[in-house]
Amino acid sequence: MVATNASTAVTSKVFPTCADALRGIVKDGMLIAVGGFGLCGIPEQLIVALRESGARNLTVASNNAGVDDWGLGMLLQTKQVRKMISSYVGENAEFERQFMAGELEVEFTPQGTLAERLRAGGAGIPAFFTKTGVGTPVAEGKPHEVFDGETFVMERGIRADLALVKAWRGDTVGNLVYRKTARNFNPMVATCGNICIAEVEEIVPAGTLDPDQIHTPSIFVNRLVKTVSEKRIEQRTVRGSP
């Protein structure tokens, strides 16, 4: 999309639909980092468009895989995911079935380590050392080093081909603001992708957002699209009648 002002020839970051935002970028075999925690803060409509793109053999780095019929769980149903790099996968029966059947490769990563792997990838840090996981299967086959008398395991930063995030507000140049707990993994995911596409609930003119409140600067965001979120509830607990 090109702005109408020919003197500046500025390329707009705003796309009309999620399919348009993904067009020309998504391909088979990509490593895609996806924001969200459970169903909170997930780029749900971009995930729907990713499913409809038909891309296959994907590696997805995300805290979890949604639920069976929503979020990344939809990509598992269509067998578009080859490998998951995840921390928590307890809400998805199809994930469990594919993993136990040997149909899905899984790289389990402690939650804090996953967040740091994403952040490190975005910061240009290829690897770092942590105590988390030492002495467990998580650390098997990974380099170990001793610092100050304690053993640490090396973890690699994640640099994704594509990052998909969900924000509350974005401006026309791509600055993003997340809302409360929906921020979760999104800021780290946004920085670690070679290309970042953001799904937002509201797009405002450049200069509207308070610079001190911006969570992801526009330099990290290549494309954004306004969507209407369904905001499904992952688990509903109600109190019975007295």
The residue type of 194 is N
| Cα gap 153→140, rounded to integer Å | 9
Residues of the chain with pLDDT > 70, as a percent, come to: 96
Structure tokens at 177: 């603001």
Helices (H) and strands (E) in the chain, counts: 6, 12
Per-domain residue ranges of the chain = 19-126+158-226
Q: Tell me the per-residue pLDDT of 26-72, one tens digit each, with 9 for 90 and over.
A: 999 999 999 999 999 999 999 999 999 999 999 999 999 989 889 99
85 contacts 109 by C-beta, under 8 angstroms: yes
DSSP 3-state helix, strand, coil percentages of the chain (rounded to 5)?
A: 25, 30, 45
Phi/psi region, residue 149 (left: phi>0; alpha: psi -120 to 50; beta: rest), is: left
How high does pLDDT run on average in the chain? 93
pLDDT for 2? 40
Would you give the distance in Å from CA 153 to the centre of its chain?
24
pLDDT for 10? 52
> What's the rounded mean pLDDT across residues 79-101?
92
Strands 105-108 and 14-15: unpaired
Worst-scoring range by mean pLDDT, 39-43, 90-94, 158-162, 220-224? 90-94
Residue whose pair of structure tokens reads 């792997």 in the numeric block: 117
Class of domain 19-126+158-226: alpha beta
Worst-scoring range by mean pLDDT, 5-14, 42-51, 73-82? 5-14
pLDDT for 3? 41
